[in-house]
A and B are shown apart, each in its own frame.
Chain A
Amino acid sequence: MTAVATSVEGFRRQAPRPARLLLHAFLALVSLGWLAPLALAVYASLRPYHETAEDGYFSLPRTLTLHYYASAWRDAELTKYFLNSLLIAVPGVVLTLFLASFVAFAITRVRLRFGVPLLVLFTAGNLLPPQIIVVPLYELFKRVPLPASMSDSLTLYDSYWGVIAIHVAFQTGFCVFVLANYMRTVPYEITEAARVDGAGVWLQYWRVILPLCRPALAALGTLEFTWMYNDFLWALVLMSTGDKMPVTSALNNLRGQFFTDYNLLAAGAVIVALPTMVVFFALQRQFIAGLTLGSSKG
């Protein structure tokens, strides 16, 4: 009975100290090991290249400077690319949540005959490997014309519309699944009562169900924003103009053709990772809820 802290009694009984200490030592070691690579990236970004080139990254600093952050921001024109990322992620998240919540509402609240096939269609779509759709999507996008006011490439290819559309299509699957699970926990009588009062489908959705799903929407919004912001593949395949790339892809601009200053790259990586880390620290609860809502049955 070394550490039987599993029963409720056990919590109060306090397991013997050495076992607890061992547990803490193990967890602390793993946690610090987990943080070390990030700490190293931050540390490297604060040190000039010639110093780390001589001493290696694992060495005491002679100088610490924020110089690389300034030059990463300037050289890679990160402001522009951050805006590009937002232009993709914000409409992407809003549209995904809107469509997914309506589909989930229709599946769980309206007696549709094709409710289950619909759920399968969306959920399975989200699990496909992106590589299977890349080629036809690329060819399709090059052939879909858009007016010049919407895309200067005159096609869906190399336009934000196309990238947003594929994000929405892909992520709707995941959100439908999670939201359908969540909506099942809302008592059926609530929409029933609204219906008796004469509310149509739209009002039941917009006025009754959507407000009740706010926690799930917040959780999914956080998660989806991070995913769309982190995306690398779609922009790489479906965009060609360097200036329009999202910030994750723009990081490559900091690589020189023959020589790469990894400290500069580290500063860039820290800057690019910063928004997702802020989201993580500020909205950790939502983020985790978003991931786990889908896994434990609603």
Chain B
Amino acid sequence: MTDRALVVVRAGALTTVQDRGRPGYAHLGVPRSGALDAPAAALVNRLAGNGPDAAVLETTLDGCAVRPRSAVVVAVGGAPCPVAVGGRPAPWGAPVAVPAGELLEVGSARSGVRSYVAVSGGIAVEPVLGSRATDLLSGLGPAPLAAGTVLPLGTPVGPHARVDVVPQPSPPAELVLRVTLGPRADWFTPAAVRAFTSRAYRVSSASNRIGLRTEGPALERALPGELASEGMVLGAVQVPPDGRPVVFLADHPTTGGYPVIAVVRAADLPAAAQAVPGIPVRFVAVRRR
């Protein structure tokens, strides 16, 4: 039997194993986790011939480098970046054959934040509650990659996709997030709700897999005091005491005590995952479907 594994040569700033996460355990305090840019993770899996539940690598800003011990097909997507195999340039957004022992280099993102690397057979670390995702809030799943980490690979299930290179997304000038107001918009002054949906915010460099933090006008509360802890959803825009909205991403806590002024449309969250610190953010109120 061949040694189906991936050796991490350069871990990058933060590279984690991700899949579709572990929904269904929020009542036990377990975050859903999973790839922040889920459509990008699904696309690289398809390109590499994997099923939708296969685990992939999620990089942060500066990519990573890995060496497979056996021949594999890989696909790199999400944030556009240079790709090289054995020192030679290889396509982004397409199936790429990597011979056994050759180095796959995923470079720094040209735009966006998170690139995704699918490997034929998927990353086959032991699942926790049905998922291989690294959850940085609660520490479930495998630790973030480090140089020398050896990741087991699964058995390929199908041929890689026969496609041309997928189009690279162009870097957005600003992040526009459609929101439905509530459930706690009434905890803020009408002026604060207007400011939230009309003024410009910027993506804060303190953003992470737990939340997209913003800088901008502080939102003034109409009601003082503490909200009793309540359940939180993906995309909830929570407003902590400093008044700056935080958009909850995949590793968000399952309950929280700061009021949620609005919830971001699920379809807009992949863009939030790719928003580089410093770019403008606008929250646009839309009607509930």
Q: Do A and B interact?
A: no
Binding site for A on B (CB under 8 A): none
